[in-house]
Amino acid sequence: MRHAAANDADAAARAAAAAFDHHAVAVRALDGHLLGLHADDRECRDAALDASAKVAPAEGGAVRVGIARHGRAYAEEESQFAERTADALALLGHAEREGVASRGAGIRVLAVEDHPVMRLGLRALLEREGMLVAGITATCSEALDLVREEEPDVVLLDLNLPDAIGTEAVDRIREVSASVPIIVFSVERTPELIRAALRAGANGYVSKDAPSSQLVAALQAAVAGLTALGQAEASALSRSIEMRAPVVPPEEQNGADAEVIEEASEPGAPVPVREPLTPRELELLRYLAEGYTNKEIARAMVLAEDTVKKGVQTLIAKLGATDRTHAVVLALRRHLIE
């Protein structure tokens, strides 16, 4: 029987894969022994294991993490973002580990929260932990001014603001400052929203029902240049890729549009951009939104896995997205899926 810690590390690896669009994540302790692993296939598994044995830990990190993706290399800036997977894993379930608490003193926090009682509670918590409140506001517009004027060390951001919907606040803060760390603090923790916030530029995501120690640890980690997912948020992402597709009778899958994905993705064929999606592509999009892997989608749609991969690429191009997660975000914004 495996230890609970190993199961936690496996779950964290799955969560990181879902959050950062990796196909394999391997987690090792600093001494090199394997803690956790998630992989879509053997090739990516071997690549991630090899990378985890060679990579240097992030500054202040507690683990070594190897990542891998099949079919497409990491862009330089994306690779830097992906490497922060290590930090999310290091923080998961260890909010009160030795050494973290000592880094909070003097951190200047800008809190953006529209609920007056919550604002009072946040101020009390931050001051109790020795942090400095650089500002506290109820609107995104005021937050932008405070980011410019006060130059906080980190922004603690609610997503339900009167003048910003969802991850719009993250986008607007990133327009003002590309570097200030942002921790999203929200009552919602759906996998789609967590992914959207991370892709928009947030450095972490903690739900409002998380222990205060986890929130404090997330702020400290963000200032140290790390990424922080609360335990509940990591679990939500992990569950989203563990879900199994419903059993759909083959006769319902083999209608007139059953081969649309394959036909639209023949090698060398031009890829249309921003064209209306076919019913089959909308079905694929819904599976992506639920966090299914290509292998799970192939099983559910009764298609070859290579066909699914090509279909995803076509879908990304049609939506004008940068990757599969961005495609889901755009689809949600355009109300193509619920």
Domains, the chain, ordered by start: 4-91 (no CATH), 102-241 (3.40.50.2300), 250-333 (1.10.10.10)
**What does the CA dihedral 278, 283, 286, 287 come to, rounded to 10 degrees?**
-130
Contact call for residues 103 and 223 (beta carbons, < 8 A): yes
pTM: 0.49
> Tens of pLDDT along 249-265?
444 444 433 333 333 33
Give the mean model confidence (pLDDT) for residues 78-101.
45
Collapse the DSSP code of 157 into the 3-class scheme (helix H, G, I; strand E, B; otherwise coil) and give the result.
strand
> Tens of pLDDT along 34-49?
888 888 888 889 888 9
Contact call for residues 240 and 191 (beta carbons, < 8 A): yes
If you ran DSSP here, which 8-state letter would residue 102 be given? G
- Closest CA relative to residue 207, chosen from 181, 232, 228: 232
> Tens of pLDDT along 183-237?
999 888 777 788 788 878 888 888 887 778 788 888 988 888 776 776 666 555 5
> Tens of pLDDT along 137-189?
999 999 999 999 999 999 999 988 888 877 889 999 999 999 999 999 988 87
Length of the chain: 338
Q: How far apart, in whole angstroms, are the C-alpha atoms of residue 79 and residue 51?
A: 13
Ranges of H-type helices in the chain: 4-20, 42-54, 76-83, 85-91, 116-128, 140-150, 168-176, 191-200, 212-223, 231-242, 250-253, 260-264, 279-289, 294-301, 305-319, 324-333
